[in-house]
Each structure stands twice: as structure tokens, then as C-alpha cells.
Amino acid sequence: MARVITVAVVDDDRMLRDGLRAWLDGVPDLRLVATAATVAELLADPGRYGDPQRAPADVVLLDLVLRDGSDPADNIRRLLRTGSRVLMISTVPDRSRIIEAIRAGADGYLTKDHDLPTLVCAVKDLAEGRGAHSMELAFACAYDDSPARPRLSPRERQILLDYASGMTLKSAARRAGITVHTAKDYLDRVKAKYQQAGRPTYTKLDLALRVREDSLDGG
């Protein structure tokens, strides 16, 4: 049997934290080890993060916008430094913020209206080192019109668009005439491009080139 995956939740809504606790209590392979209203509060938690002897949670579910006004990208980087992987959650898909979060290194994004199996599946994917994909994340990338967006190949774009429309990865792969495995590779690659583009090696020259390409595309 697989080892138990540890999960922490950072959300400023207590009701939602309690709800997730109740939900995850019933899942055999997951254990909720810490909840907090802010990232600072979580990292100061003596039960898990204050003690260097104890490992941080495998996966942190992080609310996209916290009421303490902290910067989502900053929150993500702080959590990544502890060794956790980060799955973003939010009530409404705020696309520019989703893109920012992926650039900052978050591994997945879900809206809060998904059912428990979808959430558990995403957490397991992340804990096992795979990328978690969702329709709303694909949609945010597919319709990202910011000048800093990475360049996607036609195939990557097609899979992204089809997956963003709600098709299963299997159906999107069939439509494109490729295997599910390859289709998932494409989605992983898109996310990797965003994460790479989020790194500071991104120069102003790159940005200027991208803006020029955009105006050529639009013309």
C-alpha cells in the first residue's frame, strides 16, 4: 500500500478549512496535518513547520487570494522553499492570478466547486511528482493574452484548447490522433514553459520580441 500523503491547508475562510478537514478525514491515503489562515501562520506552526525534525506537508492547498493581502507569488515561493508542492484553490477562476501562480511555481490549480475525488486525484498526482491538470488551469493558459506568455506549438495549443473545453485528456488525445501519454506530456510542457518564463532570467529583450510578435500576429 502507498504511503500516507500529508496535506496542509492555507485558507482564510475557517468554514472552508473545517469543510476540507471533514472531507479529507474520510480519505484513507491522505492525512491533513496542518491548517492555517495565512502562510506565515502555517510556517510558524510548531506542530509541523517550527520543528526542523519533522517533514513539511507533501502538498499544501493554498487559497489564491488571502485576506491578509499577501502576494500570491510570494506565498507560493515561501511554501516551495520548505519542500512542499503547492496546489492552488480559489472560489472564482481569476485568470491573471492563476497565470501568476503557475509562473511562481505552483503545480496545479482547482476551483473550489470540484468534488472530492477530483481534489484527491490532484493531490495524489502532485505528491507522486506528476503535474496536476485541470480544465480551469488549461483555460487560463489557452486564453492568456498577456505579452509575457510563452510561445506554444500548434499541437500544444490544440490539446490545451480541447482540454480547456472540458474534454477528458483521453478524448482530447483521440481528437488530435495522439496517445493520452503524449497529450499529458503536452500539458506538462505548457506548464513547464510558464514556470520557466516565471524565472527571473526572463529579459526585457524577450518581452519586447514577444510584444512585436503579438502585433505581427494581430496584424
Where on the chain is the footprint of another protein (CB under 8 A)? 91-93, 95, 111, 113, 135-136, 139, 142-143, 145, 161-162, 164-168, 170-171, 174-175, 217-218
Q: Which is nearer to another protein, 200 or 218 (CB)?
A: 218
Q: How far is the CB of 219 from another protein (least distance, A)?
A: 10
Q: Which is nearer to another protein, 81 or 170 (CB)?
A: 170
Q: How far is the CB of 96 from another protein (least distance, A)?
A: 10
Q: Which is nearer to another protein, 125 or 162 (CB)?
A: 162
Q: Which is nearer to another protein, 101 or 140 (CB)?
A: 140
Q: Which is nearer to another protein, 80 or 167 (CB)?
A: 167
What's the grid cell of residue 13? 475562510
Q: How far is the CB of 209 from another protein (least distance, A)?
A: 20
Q: How far is the CB of 167 from another protein (least distance, A)?
A: 5
User: Residue 116 in contact with residue 87, Cβ under 8 Å?
Assistant: no
Cα separation, 81 vs 59, in Å, equals: 13
Cα separation, 34 vs 195, in Å, equals: 27
User: What is the crossing angle of helices 180-197 and 135-142, to 10°?
Assistant: 60
Cα separation, 204 vs 59, in Å, equals: 34
Query: At residue 119, what is the residue type?
Result: L
Q: How far is the CB of 22 from another protein (least distance, A)?
A: 11
Q: Which is nearer to another protein, 32 or 137 (CB)?
A: 137
CB atoms within 10 A of CB 170: 12
User: Residue 145 in contact with residue 163, Cβ under 8 Å?
Assistant: no
Cα separation, 69 vs 58, in Å, equals: 25
Cα separation, 106 vs 174, in Å, equals: 29
Q: How far is the CB of 139 from another protein (least distance, A)?
A: 5
